[in-house]
Chains A and B, each alone.
Chain A
Amino acid sequence: MQARRKPVTLRIIAVFTMLTLMSLTFLYPLCFLIVTSLKDKPHYVADQFGPGITHWSLTNYVTMLSQFKIVEKFSNTLYVVVFSLVIITVFAVFASYAFAKLSFRGSRFLFLFLLFFTFIPGQVTMIPMYVVFSGMGLINNPWSVILSYCSGGIPGGILLMTAAFRAIPGEVIESARIDGVSTVSMVPRIIVPMGRVAIIINLIMGFIGYWNDLFLPLLYLQNEKSKTIIVALAALVSRYSNDPTYQMAGMVLAILPVMVLFLSLQRFIIKGLMVGAIK
């Protein structure tokens, strides 16, 4: 027994060392990003690699708050993300419940019809929708982006949630029905509590995806007042192309909310992704 333990330990050390080295290639660029954002340009030019802790200051961040109106960008982004997610979740939950647990004529056809549109690239629909939205005066209005996210997020959500809701045992629903729960109120009483894992995963992934999205907000939200954080960041980076420290402060702020969300919910997210990946 003693003899067998030794090679295992060696192996663990080898694996641990390899993982450490590999993870450094991921951690170093991120540390570089954060440290640089705390320097000012002269110190960065003089010494790019040193931590330069003594010179750290929050000047870049203060400028970001005062001149760049970062709070406005955050609230624009949050507005788009929250309304998109609320609409997607409500609509997709009810539809998925119907597809998973109620039998009705044409359900198979309608399900496949909705799924078909998850295959259509956003590049196809964005041009006609741009014309529609500008006709409705919705360019520079967050609802152009929200409606577009919903049109993609609803079929995607239905795909995920229908699979999850199918796993809810029929007996639970049947006994609730005997207790007098109507078809519609089955959703808040049974479906949402029992299918919450899929719903929450869909919410989290949606939050990350929409917060980080560039494409649609870049097209539809062009004026300074309506820009989301990533679009504003793109403008900031090209305007201050000669000052990496300032650019990087903007980049840190742009990723901060999603980082916090991910790090606090990571076990849940990773478990959810793995379950989703096998299916």
Chain B
Amino acid sequence: MKEHRSLQQRKTEQVALLLVLPSLAFVLLIKAYPLAMAILNSFTNWNGLSRHDFVGLRNYVTLLTGTEFWILLRNTLVLLLYLPFQIAGGLIVAVLLYEETPGWRFFRTVFYLPQVLSTVVIGFLFTILFGFSGPVNRLLVQSGILEKPVEWLADARTSIPILILCLVWINIGWQSLIFSGGLSAIPPSVLEAARIDGAGYWRTLLRVTLPMLMRTVEYSLIVSVIWVFTGIFPVIFSMTKGGPGRSTTTIDYMIYVKAFVSGNQLGMACALAMILTVIVIFVTRLQMLAADKLDDWGD
């Protein structure tokens, strides 16, 4: 009996491995192998053609001691300023939707729409709206607020706020949905208890609801920060192409430029991509630690 059982178990193990194997093969060939190649090539002066020599840490030293990388990092960090607006806006929308007024499902759909639309299309739409002869300029000139039209996206002082506005516009619906999930996980008895204790609407919101949403905030922060570091390419591509100058070039956009647009600096692009990976892992770790601290304070 025991013999038979272990035979059965061995057979199940073999089947299980066979079921996992195809997925594993995909990841090994198209993720693990290129990851290894990217690490190796980040130590070379590879230009995609003839040059492909080992140069040690030179790419990393060049990047970290030069000014360019820090400008790219600063640009990404500046764009993160959209996060407070996303969190606040998402919370307001979620709390309003929670009231379940007539048509709340319709509103929820409307707020979520930008998540479904291609980010590139949204970027182009914003570019046209804020274009030199676009509707925003026309409105402001006609109403006398501006004397003459402004090149919104050709000046870093205006292009960055517009990028931030666009990021908020894209993500408020997502954020409110995440908060709605968090709100629905709060047991009604807790809110009821607060009401019986005499807490009003605002007091309940600030003292009971908000603290119970901290986990949700933590989750959204991690997802959003990683998105800004690694997924903002279509926004930059469609709105500013990293300009004017390098004022809106983010790290992930620069990797694309270095590798595919100017100069075939493939080795350098790989080094930059590795730094990006380290940043992403570091940020995730940091935010998780910070969130644990917050929880301790909460107790």
Which residues of A line the B interface, CB within 8 A?
A: 11-12, 15-16, 18-20, 22-23, 25-27, 29-30, 32-33, 45, 48-49, 91-92, 94-95, 97-99, 102-105, 107, 110, 113-114, 117, 119-132, 147-148, 150-152, 154-155, 158, 183-184, 208, 211-212, 214-215, 218-219, 230, 233-234, 237, 244, 247-248, 251, 254-255, 258-259, 262-263, 266-267, 270, 273-275, 277-278
Contact = CB atoms under 8 A, between A and B. Distances in A.
B204 to A, nearest CB: 14
Contacts of A128: 33-34, 37-38, 41, 270
Contacts of B200: none
A258 B107 contact: no
A124 B277 contact: yes
Contacts of B34: 124-129, 132
A109 B290 CA distance: 27
Nearest to A132: B34
Contacts of A27: 110
Contacts, number: 253
A45 B129 CA distance: 13
B27 interface: yes
Closest 9 CB pairs of A and B: A151-B30, A212-B118, A128-B37, A128-B34, A125-B34, A274-B181, A102-B16, A104-B16, A95-B23
A262 B108 CA distance: 13
Contacts of A258: 116-118
Interface in B9-24: 11-13, 15-17, 19-20, 22-24
B281 A119 contact: yes
B23 A277 contact: no
Nearest to A97: B19
Contacts of B22: 91, 94-95
B57 interface: no
B41 A255 contact: no
B71 interface: no
Given A103-B12, A121-B276, 14 more contacts: A23-B107, A29-B129, A103-B16, A119-B277, A127-B38, A127-B269, A128-B41, A129-B30, A151-B31, A154-B26, A183-B16, A214-B234, A215-B234, A277-B182
